[in-house]
Every structure is written in structure tokens, then in C-alpha cells.
Amino acid sequence: MAASGKNPKKRNSLAGTSTGTSKSAKYFASHPEARAKKNAYNKEYHKSTERKEYRADLNAANRESPNRKKEDKSHTKSGKIVNENKSTNRARNGRGGTAKKK
């Protein structure tokens, strides 16, 4: 892939350098040992067979019926994967500390 802009050979030197503004982002930015522990856990978690199957299912669903603009894949209680507005899906899944399916 070619870079775009005035100088197509130059990459974005700021990519990946900014930190988030949430409490947890600030904590992990200032505590490298905690961040390393978190990254090690995530690496193990996401290479498990269950997570690979989960990602494969989502990729297959997205190939069958691609997301339109402003849409996500949403999981229903029956186990179906459907297109849904991003803001609706993400707002519901973060509410009250527990995720609730559509």
C-alpha cells in the first residue's frame, strides 16, 4: 500500500504515540509493569481457539452481509449476528456494567 499526502514516502510518525484520556489509559501509560502484564494476558486470551472461532464467525458474517455506514455487527440473544447502528449497539453493551445482547 502506498502512503498518501504531499510526500507519499513519509509515514505518519505520530501513529501509535498518543495516549487515551480515560482513567485506565492514563494509568497504563504511567505504569509500564501493569501495561506489560495486561498485554501478556491479552496476547494469551486472543490466541485461544474460542477467540479465533469468534473472529472467524464475525469475518464470515461480514462477508455475507457487509456493514453499511455507521453500522456494526450485533449479537442477538438467539446467537444470530445482525447489522445494527454502532451507537445503539455500543451504548447498550456498556450499560450498567454488564453486557446485554439485543
The residue written with cell numbers 498518543 in the block is 18
pTM for the whole structure: 0.60
Residue ranges for the chain with pLDDT beneath 70: 1-8, 94-99
| Predicted local confidence at residue 98, as pLDDT | 67
Cβ within 8 Å of residue 18, ≥6 positions away? none
| Predicted local confidence at residue 2, as pLDDT | 57
Cβ within 8 Å of residue 32, ≥6 positions away? none
Give me the count of residues in the chain.
102
> C-alpha cell of 26?
492514563
Distances (CA, A) of 22 to 27, 89, 99: 9, 21, 20
| Predicted local confidence at residue 75, as pLDDT | 83
| Predicted local confidence at residue 53, as pLDDT | 93
The residue written with cell numbers 481457539 in the block is 49
